[in-house]
Amino acid sequence: MPIRATALHLHHAPLSGCSARIRIALHLKRLHDINLPITYHPVNLSASDHHTPAYRSLNPNASIPTLVVELDASQQKQPTIITITQSLAIIDALDTLFPSSPPRLIPAPPFASSSADSSAAASLLRRRAAVLDLVALVACDVQPPANKRWRDAITTDYGGDGEAWARRVYERGLGAYEELLATGEQGRFSVGDGVSAADVFLVPAVEGAMRVGLCEVGRRWPRVGRGRHNGAPRRIMRSIPFSDLSIRDLPESVTLSAVIKTNEFLP
């Protein structure tokens, strides 16, 4: 019997890049169009709402976002609840729960069989690895050390310059992303001609870089910012028309609207 989600609850923060990943994914997969109840629960980071006992009972790491999935439990009185606290795991769950709602953001793994075309399987494996490689670059090497909590700690606790530190992190990370795009599968997006989780992770990272003063992303890293072959931020923004960024679809979508309004990503 297939698993069926009956409701989603997204705990998010408007200026959180990790939260923006999930709002972008929900929009790209058009889950609002299948009459699935999606409730957005804003978390006020400035008021430390993520450190309250109520929120930490959902997410012991006190991080953002958290997705709570209600699954159909027709044989039970109460729905089955799944709580997911990492953005990549959330996107994987969305791909798994809604296979008929394209695009698939993480390419499916090629399943080996005696009748499988080895060349096609190798191509699928290469594409999946490329997407996850770029995702991990942003999720592990860029976003955590450039996070506001560490910028503030560097400035307040150690007397350093947190913004300068973040710029260095973004410069290194976006430079590496640019090199991977140059040697990877060419196309309209980060990996080929289909939007993927790599683009979903890249867009908020680019905005984060701009927020700390790296305003010439397109000129410094043309494939990341506005290259003709792999202009992922510009391409993904074109796939989400500004008129569609409503409160219904992307509540408090400060991150997306800021990027869209920036000439860096407009034709």
Q: What is the residue-averaged pLDDT of the chain?
A: 81
Q: Is residue 1 part of a domain?
A: yes
Examine the fold and report which residue of 102, 136, 169 is the final residue of a domain before the chain moves on. Answer: 102
- Total domains in the fold of the chain: 2
Q: Domain check: are 145 and 243 in the same one?
A: yes
Expressed as residue numbers, the domain containing 248 is: 120-259
Examine the fold and report which residue of 68, 102, 136 is the final residue of a domain before the chain moves on. Answer: 102
C-alpha dihedral (228, 213, 245, 23), degrees to nearest 10: 90
Q: What is the mean pLDDT of residues 92-100?
A: 94
Question: pTM value?
Answer: 0.83
Q: Is residue 43 part of a domain?
A: yes
pLDDT at 267: 25
Q: What is the mean pLDDT of residues 81-91?
A: 96
Q: Domain check: are 45 and 166 in the same one?
A: no
- Sheet strand arrangement including 5-12: 38-42, 5-12, 66-71, 80-84
Q: Which residue has the higher pLDDT, 38 or 111?
A: 38
Examine the fold and report which residue of 51, 73, 102 is the final residue of a domain before the chain moves on. Answer: 102
Q: Domain check: are 159 and 87 in the same one?
A: no
Q: How far is CA 9 from the centre of its chain?
A: 17
Q: What is the mean pLDDT of residues 167-172?
A: 95
pLDDT at 131: 96
pLDDT at 126: 92
